A and B are shown apart, each in its own frame.
Chain A
Amino acid sequence: MKLTLKIWRQKNNSTKGSFETYQVEADEHMSFLEMLDVLNQQLIEAKKDPVAFEHDCREGICGSCNIVIDGRPHGPQKGTTTCQLHMRHYKDGETITIEPFRASAFPVIKDLVVDRAAFDRVIQAGGYISVNTGQAPDGNSIPIEGDIAAKSFDSATCIGCGACVAACPNGSAMLFTSAKISHLGLLPQGKIEHSKRSQKMVAQMDKEGFGFCSNVGACEAECPKEISLDNIARLNRSFVGSVFSSE
């Protein structure tokens, strides 16, 4: 199939970017990123600068890939990362618009590559259980109800891609942050530090320049791991609680 790609090109953070148009010949079995590989091969053969984009596992788990495709982070398919999107969902002759994740807390590095280090700092602020190696009791000493473990797991599957932030009109990181707080806070091991953790992570989130959450819900809709808004609701409830309890 023949496709027209309108791709955001930006040399670095201090220059202005713009869209450029390219033609590419793709095969329906290719993944979206393989289609971009084909384009880059063409560009390199023409001694031009290939399009920089981030990717690694190419199976939807590392959270590296982050492209806005036709206005949607990770493209049109529900619950699918960019790397898992396949060209069989496109038709011959289509035009596809490709841009980086846009959010003030994620500055563009080059083309489609952005800096998501702010997420690391949110985790560093408290997204862990404080246990040193060697201190742990036997793994079966605290049974955990299957339902709770499953809920915690659902929150823990966040891949840290940042689509929630890119999807949000406010550039809020609430889905990401609340998912980590739920993952840990639901487990008996993580309960002890729960209030402190929530406060510190939310404070860091604000400090990084992520926007506030106004319950738009775009994050959940675009999240490739289908992380639920329940996480935000849970955080709102417990966060209010933790502010009270610390005062």
Chain B
Amino acid sequence: MKLDSNVPEGELAEKWTKYRSTMNLVAPNNKRRLEVIVVGTGLAGASAASTLGELGYNVKCFTFHDSPRRAHSIAAQGGINAAKNYQNDGDSVYRLFYDTIKGGDYRSRESNVHRLAEASTEIIDQCVAQGVPFAREYGGLLANRSFGGVQVSRTFYARGQTGQQLLLGAYQGLSRQIATGNVKMYNRHEMLDLVTIDGKARGIIARNLLTGKLERHAAHAVVLATGGYGNVYYLSTNAMGSNVSAAWRAVRRGALMANPCMCQIHPTCIPVSGDYQSKLTLMSESLRNDGRVWVPKKKEDAIAIREKRKTALDIPEEDRDYYLERRYPAFGNLVPRDVASRAAKVACDAGNGVSPTGLAVFLDFSSAFERYGHSEALSQGINNPTAEKIIDLGREVVKKKYGNLFQMYEKITGENPYVLPMKIYPAIHYVMGGLWVDYNLETNVPGLFALGEANFSDHGANRLGASALMQGLADGYFVIPYTIGQFLSKEIRTPNISPDLPEFEKAENDTRQRLQRLIDIKGNQSVESFHRRLGKIMWEYCGMSRNAEGLTKARQELRALRDEFYSDVFIPGTADEFNPELEKATRVADLMELGEVMTLDALDRNESCGGHFREEYVTEDGEAKRDDENYAYVAAWEWDEQEPQVHKEELVFKNVELKTRSYK
């Protein structure tokens, strides 16, 4: 299969503008006759559905949640990037483009990333107009902060709840379109299959989760904005319901899964504390602006802390190893996520970890308390403040910036982070991999589009902080409304697709049988227990570091797990009722198949780049060793029960020079 990225001709900086002004349009009267299905109401789906509705298309929008507002995007904390250069610190569209390409370790498509950087500025304007209450300076203008992997301050934020506020903005826009009837909303409906007719995506099979009834929904085009599959690791920062099924069902119908092994491990999460644990909680990357990461230099100190004979406060300054500042003086605590995560693993593997499991490092705010305390004392005109007063003042400043995160930490761990440093450890957070799409965000299945975290398009092998929100909204507000026209302009003569066509009937029957098969197993183990085991295999062999032997083993274990699942899983109830266990079962079944393709992809990529770290490919000083000569490609996988096949899209870099990524 030849993968055509359909990147328009022309200079990088002009491609999008030119393309937009010359692409095929759909006249308003025709838009009304064209139906579009949007699956997902996260940032990508809600922004797409509302904008397509505004344009006059007939939109049907689906979410498995009870309300569009609950999509996982709601949980994003830190912020959203935009090349506004409001801080006058040298930011520009080009710089955001360059940082993203470099941050992604040169495994993303130049043209898509540049378009993303261009759209970024419009996103902020749009959100402000919708009433998103971004943080502001005293003068009333928008405030910014820095995130990892960049040296400018371009991140817009709404306290530690940026995702919530952006999603509410998009949700409100969507609600307005629902009220006008341009969008018909289907809550608590889960897409369980994609329907293709003559090779084109023409609809979906959705299960009404309240009644269990299978429904056929037809349209001229289908847009998937169904989020990422980080939950293949069981423990992740994703919401419990996040899953791969919509995308995976599309793969089962011929779409390709690109770079599935590219997962992001976030360096600052609350460490695992026990076997019962159901999910991990992120502590926003923005904390690394003010927190310093360290472990004790001496192993005996680390052991004493683990055994609770000492606390962080007992370790004198000279016995602390601020390893990020030591190893990466140029970026210090603000190195990109993949680098920071691996460094934490190195420190813990060496025996210097600080939680009972030995898998945690400190994130310490005491210098920030002091620094802010001093300047606060000055600005409040307090003469000769005591050391305590300074710390108190500093704590107040930090509280204003990150109060909700500190509170969240305390609720979960029972420890007060204003007194003791936080303990953190890397955890699965985001997936760069996703459905393969071309420049139009169209998959290899004509008429099937993928947006947001569900596609692979912009972040290469590693995503920079605050870029997922940007991408979701860019895709939904500013890209798909144009590019879907390229496809739909050729469909204006296609009458409404009938859900009575045999293809729909077959897909519905397939789905019904699949569900019944699961119910009928009546084995002895819960879905949850399989999910946990799946997660353990993935984390062990396809997690923070990988090697050929482990990956090969993982694939065998995954196959064995799948066989066991299909012979021994127990699902209570029936398929014709509200049945959360059945919902989980279909999701875990799909995650298991995906897991296998992830191991194949990780095995195929004989290099280390970004989030993909192969132990066999390291430089002398332990950094990732990329192989541009042989692996500067996107690996797009075609599913096959026996042997999934890889197709390659070569990446061409005309505007940036491929360099070894250095943050030293």
Contact = CB atoms under 8 A, between A and B. Distances in A.
A152 B133 contact: yes
A246 B84 CA distance: 40
B656 interface: no
A136 B175 contact: no
B239 A86 contact: no
A56 B241 contact: yes
Contacts of B179: 124-125
Given A49-B573, A120-B67, A27 B274 contact: yes
B126 A136 contact: yes
A216 interface: no
Contacts of B171: 123
Contact of B130 (A27, A117, A128, A159): A128
A88 B580 CA distance: 28
Contacts of B165: 153, 156
Given A44-B570, A45-B526, A157-B164, A140 B276 contact: no
Interface in A10-52: 12, 27, 29-31, 33-34, 37-38, 41, 44-45, 47-50, 52
Contact of B67 (A30, A117, A125): A117
A140 B278 CA distance: 42
B618 interface: no
A189 B128 contact: yes
A25 B505 CA distance: 47
B70 interface: yes
B133 A135 contact: no
B210 A109 contact: yes
B118 to A, nearest CB: 14
Contacts of A143: 136, 139-141
A104 B172 CA distance: 25
Interface string A60-73: 11111000000000
A63 B128 CA distance: 24
Most-contacted residue by chain B among A57, A63, A113 (CB, 10 A)? A57
A146 B136 contact: yes
B187 A117 contact: yes
A110 B578 contact: yes
A243 to B, nearest CB: 22
Nearest to A187: B131
A47 B573 CA distance: 10
A88 B411 CA distance: 10
| Chain A interface SS verdict (over half) | loop
A203 B464 CA distance: 45
Interface residues of A, number: 74
A184 B140 contact: no
Interface in B37-74: 47, 50-51, 54, 65-70, 72, 74
A224 B281 CA distance: 18
A233 interface: no
A120 B478 contact: no
A120 B68 contact: yes
B133 A60 contact: no
Contact of B75 (A48, A59, A125, A127): A59
A153 B133 contact: yes
Interface in A101-127: 109-110, 113, 115-117, 119-120, 123-125, 127
B246 interface: no
B126 A30 contact: no
A52 B66 contact: no
Given A52-B578, A52-B580, A80-B411, A124 B176 contact: yes
A88 B70 contact: no
B661 interface: no
B96 interface: no
Contact of B122 (A12, A50, A52, A136): A136
A146 B278 CA distance: 39
Nearest to B279: A58
A177 interface: no
B125 interface: yes
Contact of B477 (A61, A116, A133, A140): A133
Contacts of B68: 120
A177 B141 CA distance: 28
A156 B72 contact: no
A51 to B, nearest CB: 10
A208 interface: no
Contact of A133 (B50, B187, B414): B50
Nearest to B529: A41
A139 B84 CA distance: 9
A89 to B, nearest CB: 10
A13 to B, nearest CB: 10
B172 A127 contact: yes
A34 B278 contact: yes
Interface in B403-424: 408, 411-412, 414
Contact of B140 (A37, A60, A146): A146
Given A29-B274, A55-B240, A134 B131 contact: no
Given A37-B528, A120-B187, A189-B131, A145 B70 contact: no
A156 B67 CA distance: 17
Interface string B123-165: 0111111110111111111100000000000000011010111
Contacts of B134: 139, 149
A117 B175 CA distance: 12
A62 B142 contact: no
A139 B124 contact: yes
Nearest to B156: A139
B408 A157 contact: no
A245 B490 CA distance: 50
Nearest to A26: B276
Contacts of B84: 139-140
A186 B589 CA distance: 48
B168 interface: yes
A160 interface: yes
Contacts of A59: 75, 279, 281, 408
Contact of A190 (B131, B168, B573): B131
Contacts of B528: 37, 41, 44
A128 B176 contact: yes
Contacts of B129: 129, 131, 135-137, 189
B86 interface: yes
Contacts of A31: 278, 412
B581 interface: yes
B142 A139 contact: yes
Given A54-B66, A189-B128, A140 B141 contact: yes
A54 B188 CA distance: 12
Nearest to B138: A146
A237 to B, nearest CB: 20
A236 B408 CA distance: 33
Contacts of A120: 67-69, 175, 185, 187
A149 to B, nearest CB: 5
Given A63-B69, A110-B578, A137 B131 contact: no
22 contacts: A34-B278, A44-B570, A45-B524, A50-B580, A56-B72, A58-B239, A58-B278, A62-B70, A64-B66, A113-B578, A120-B69, A124-B179, A128-B172, A129-B172, A131-B129, A138-B125, A139-B127, A139-B128, A139-B134, A140-B86, A146-B137, A149-B136
Interface of A: 12, 27, 29-31, 33-34, 37-38, 41, 44-45, 47-50, 52, 54-64, 80, 84, 86, 88, 109-110, 113, 115-117, 119-120, 123-125, 127-140, 142-146, 149, 152-153, 156-157, 159-160, 183-184, 187, 189-190
Closest 4 CB pairs of A and B: A143-B140, A128-B172, A136-B129, A136-B125
Given A37-B278, A139-B127, 7 more contacts: A59-B408, A61-B75, A127-B175, A134-B122, A139-B125, A153-B159, A157-B164
